[in-house]
Amino acid sequence: MNKSDLAKQLAEKASLSKGDAEKCVAIVWESIQDALTQGERVEIRGFGSFSVKHFDAREGRNPKTGESIKIEPRSLPRFKAGKDLKDRINHK
Amino acid sequence: MSITKVELADIVYENMKLDKKRATDLVDMFFEEMKNALVKDGEVQVSGFGKFFVKEKKERKGRNPKTGESIMIEPRKVATFHHSQVLKDRLNGQKK
C-alpha cells in the first residue's frame, strides 16, 4: 500500500473526492515532516509517536578496510507504535 | 509541546476550506486507514517520508527486571518505521 492507495481508501470512507483525499493525505504527511524538521515531537494517540533523535559526531571505521573515518553529527526520526496499533496488529 | 491530531486537523481545515468538524473526522479516518492498512497488508509505503511495516518477533526468554524472575515472551508482531532518504536529508538541513 502506498500514498495513493491510502488516498483512495480515505476518499471511499469519507465520501471525499479523489483530489481532496490526495490533498488531505499530502497535508498530513507534510505537516508531520515540518514539525519534525523544527525539532518537534508528533504524537498521534492510538497510532504512535514520532520524534527526532540527535547523534553526535563520532569516529567510525570502514569495516572492510579498517580505515578510520569521521561520522558527521546527524538527526534521525524515530517512530514508536501506539497501544491501539500494537494491539491491532496482534489481533487483540 | 507535541503536535497532535488537533493541530493536524487545524492545518487540514485551513488548507482545504471545509468545516472544522469535518477536518477533525478526516484526520481521525486517515490514521484509522493507516492502521487498517498495516493490519491487512503489513506494509505502507509513504513516498518522501518512509515505510511502515509489521515485523514478526520470535518468542524469547525474558526476565522481570523487578523480581529477576525468568519469563517466556510470546511471539508477537511489532510495527516499525524506516525513514526515507528525503526525510533524513530534511532533518539534517538539506532541503530538497
pLDDT tens track for B36-87:
999 999 999 999 999 999 999 999 999 999 998 999 999 999 999 999 999 9
Which portions of chain A are predicted below pLDDT 50? none
Give the per-residue pLDDT at A1.
87
Structure-block grid coordinates of residue B14: 485551513
Residue B1 pLDDT grade (very low, low, confident, very high; cuts 50, 70, 90): confident
Domains of chain A, by residue range, sit at: 1-40, 43-92
ipTM above 0.90?
no
pTM of the model: 0.88
CA distance B43 to B65: 33
Query: Cβ contact (<8 Å) for A77 and B26?
Result: no
Q: Which residues contact A11 (CB under 8 A, 6 or more apart)?
A: A17, A18, A20, A21
Query: Cβ contact (<8 Å) for B30 and A10?
Result: yes
Within 8 A of B76 by CB-CB distance, chain A residues are: 90
| 3-class DSSP assignment, residue A11 | helix
Minimum Cα–Cα distance from B34: chain A residue: A6
CA distance A81 to A49: 7
Which site among B1, B3, B53, B55 would you substitute to test the A interface, given the most A Cβ atoms closer than 10 Å to its Cβ? B3
Q: Which residues contact A69 (CB under 8 A, 6 or more apart)?
A: A59, A60, A61, A62
Report yes or no: A55 and B32 within 8 Å, Cβ to Cβ.
no
Residues of chain B numbered 1-20 and touching chain A (CB < 8 Å): 1-5, 7-8, 11-12, 15-16
Within an 8 Å CB–CB cutoff, is residue B21 touching chain A? no
User: What are the φ/ψ torsions at residue B74 (nearest 5 degrees)?
Assistant: -65, 150
CATH 3.40.50.2300 given to domain A43-92: no
